[in-house]
Amino acid sequence: MRIRPRRLRTTETLRLMVRETRLSVDDFVYPAFVVPGKGVRESIPSMPGCFRFSIDSLVAEAKEIKGLGIPAILLFGIPETKDEIGTEAFSPDGIVQRAVKAIKAHVDNLLVITDVCLCEYTSHGHCGVVRDGKVINDLTRELLAKIAVSHAGAGADIVAPSDMMDGRVAAIRDALDSSGFQDTAIMSYSAKYASAFYGPFREAAESAPQFGDRKSYQMDPANAREALKEVRLDVDEGADIVMVKPALAYMDIIRLVRDATDVPVAAYNVSGEYAMVKAAAQNGWIDEERIVLEVLTSIKRAGADIILTYHAKDAARWLASR
């Protein structure tokens, strides 16, 4: 036989030479939850290995993340008090704003990305302002813009709106620019699906909707073309990076988006995806290291330039030891 594909699989050195996708610690963003208090490092039952940190503990965690070579952290805040419109989300002294300042004061060269949304801050748990049982788009946009400006004011490098309101990227870009934050980037959760894979996160962030669901704003898992529409709108409105979320059940969407746009594409390997791997690993049913590296490599192969993952710290260690 003249052509034998197995020839190039003979040795590890050869396989390494022809490898098409190389996973790197540079690809990772580590998501973290920040809570009020001091010295808090509370484990999250459905996300083994993940914790809720008070600001002081988060700074130590951020140093560890930086030490592992992970370039960025994504912050989610759980506030002291919740109300109808999520006031603490845009307070200059809010939990995330203080966390950003603390990390920026104590950790050099770690990119700080902030989640911009209302669901952790509203008493009803929806990602926007609710009137007569409905999430009101345009009013929510204004609050999101205020949140983004307050995060930028605290020193966030990138703001990441995850609410899925229409037109919010434009509102955020305009508000950032008119407040002097031209260099604060926007990573938009552009194609974010109404997914059951967010279950563990909602427990961790106390952000489950108290009535109804998120289907009137997050996308229908059955739709692919619509993801391209969302991405096009966000890029036109000024998104610097677009995101597909979740990742694993949406690899086709990652590839479509990668091929359709020239901005960096991020993929969020979400809490439910993490929990499934962890649960199976704890049962001894799978080889965690191999599964995690295979999953993350596949997300990258599908077209993601940036991978947000709770596995980032473990994966960084495993990659360093190879």
CA distance 256 to 250: 10
Query: Least distance from C-beta 115 to ligand PBG, angstroms?
Result: 5
Map tokens 């197995």 to a residue.
6
Q: Which is nearer to ligand PBG, 61 or 115 (CB)?
A: 115
Query: Least distance from C-beta 226 to ligand PBG, angstroms?
Result: 17
Query: Least distance from C-beta 163 to ligand PBG, angstroms?
Result: 6
Given the rule CB under 6 A, which residues bind ligand PBG?
A: 115, 117, 119, 127, 162, 198, 201-202, 207, 214, 270-271
Query: Least distance from C-beta 127 to ligand PBG, angstroms?
Result: 5
Q: Which is nearer to ligand PBG, 181 or 274 (CB)?
A: 274
Q: Which of 66, 82, 245, 300 is catalytic?
A: 245
Query: What tokens appear for 250 in the block?
Result: 């949406």
CA distance 277 to 150: 36
Are 192 and 246 spatial neighbours (Cβ–Cβ below 8 Å)? no
- The closest alpha carbon to 261, from 290, 231, 291, belongs to 231
Return the biggest CA–CA distance within the chain.
71
Q: Residue 127 burial (CB < 10 Å; 0-12/13-18/19+)?
A: buried
Q: Which is nearer to ligand PBG, 276 or 286 (CB)?
A: 276
Q: Which is nearer to ligand PBG, 152 or 205 (CB)?
A: 205
Q: Residue 278 burial (CB < 10 Å; 0-12/13-18/19+)?
A: buried
Told to judge if 192 belongs to the known catalytic residues of this protein, a careful annotator would answer: yes
Query: Least distance from C-beta 295 to ligand PBG, angstroms?
Result: 14
Tell me the three state secondary structure of residue 186. Answer: strand
Q: Which is nearer to ligand PBG, 139 or 260 (CB)?
A: 139
Q: Which is nearer to ligand PBG, 127 or 148 (CB)?
A: 127
CA distance 132 to 224: 31
Query: What tokens appear for 222 in the block?
Result: 């059955």
Q: Which of 66, 101, 146, 192 is catalytic?
A: 192
Query: Least distance from C-beta 262 to ligand PBG, angstroms?
Result: 25
- The closest alpha carbon to 257, from 312, 220, 299, 311, belongs to 299
Told to judge if 229 belongs to the known catalytic residues of this protein, a careful annotator would answer: no
Q: Residue 232 burial (CB < 10 Å; 0-12/13-18/19+)?
A: middle
Catalytic residues: 192, 245
